[in-house]
């Protein structure tokens, strides 16, 4: 049963050795190598970015135009509880993409059943249901959907999830109050309207 781990370990060691060798030659080990060699992750990510077909409510910004692996994302829902708030996220994609899912974190402290107070997002396709045939588009659509239909099952913010299940009017009020920047149940939330 340890076969996989052993094989993987061997592979990782080889990868580390070759990465170290490259780092020695180029003097750095950044994801975009200086000798113009495009990595598989880069190749796939470029395709994903060119094929993006996302609603207007989602905007991507690349703080460093030569780095496709790290960018920012903002979502401005046009309907639902979170209508017209603007939520900022950071997206971090590693060199093992698409074997590893993108890592997405909310930069605002928000009141949402599926996002905890540190900005961690609970979205199945970013975790246990990730598959390399999913692309950036499906991830962004999934994230957008969390704001249209917050999901009280499998919550990260249990208090918010409980309120959503028990009292939808109170949930809507809490969301509005939190989006204006203020306290909900002794917790301070960022202003995002």
Residues forming the active site: 122
| Residue 43 is a binding residue for another protein (CB under 8 A) | yes
Q: How far is the CB of 14 from another protein (least distance, A)?
A: 12
Residues with Cβ within 8 Å of residue 189, at least 6 apart in sequence: 108, 109, 110, 111, 177, 178, 179, 181, 182, 183
Radius of gyration of the chain measured on its C-alpha atoms: 20
Residues with Cβ within 8 Å of residue 43, at least 6 apart in sequence: none
| Residue 130 is a binding residue for another protein (CB under 8 A) | yes
Pick 154 or 185: Cβ nearer another protein? 154
| Residue 8 is a binding residue for another protein (CB under 8 A) | yes
| Residue 131 is a binding residue for another protein (CB under 8 A) | yes
| Residue with the two structure tokens 């370990």 | 9
CA-based nearest residue to 77, from 173, 134, 143: 143
Stretch that binds another protein, among 126-134, 148-156, 158-166, 181-189 (CB under 8 A): 126-134
- Judged by CB under 8 A, the residue of 40, 92, 167, 180 near another protein is 40
99 neighbors 12 (Cβ within 8 angstroms): no
Cα angle value 54/123/119 (rounded, 5°)? 95
| Residue 94 is a binding residue for another protein (CB under 8 A) | no
- Judged by CB under 8 A, the residue of 34, 47, 92, 168 near another protein is 47
Chain contacts with another protein (rule: CB under 8 A): 1, 3-5, 7-8, 11, 39-40, 43-44, 47, 98-100, 128, 130-133, 135
């Amino acid at each position: 049963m340890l076969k996989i781990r052993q094989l993987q370990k061997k592979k990782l060691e080889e990868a580390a050795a070759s990465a170290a060798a490259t780092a020695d030659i180029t003097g750095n080990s950044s994801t975009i190598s200086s000798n113009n060699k495009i990595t598989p992750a880069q190749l796939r990510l470029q395709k994903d970015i060119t094929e993006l077909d996302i609603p207007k409510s989602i905007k991507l910004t690349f703080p460093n135009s030569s780095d496709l692996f790290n960018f920012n994302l903002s979502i401005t829902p046009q309907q639902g509880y979170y209508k017209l708030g603007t939520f900022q996220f950071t997206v971090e994609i590693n060199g093992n993409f698409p074997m590893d899912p993108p890592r997405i974190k909310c930069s605002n402290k928000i009141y949402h059943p599926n996002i905890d107070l540190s900005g961690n997002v609970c979205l199945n396709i970013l975790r246990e249901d990730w598959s390399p045939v999913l692309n950036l588009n499906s991830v962004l659509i999934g994230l957008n959907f969390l704001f249209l239909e917050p999901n009280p099952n499998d919550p990260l913010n249990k208090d918010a999830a409980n309120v959503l299940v028990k009292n939808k009017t109170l949930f809507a009020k809490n969301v509005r109050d939190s989006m204006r920047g203020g306290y909900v149940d002794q917790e301070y939330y960022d202003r995002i309207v």
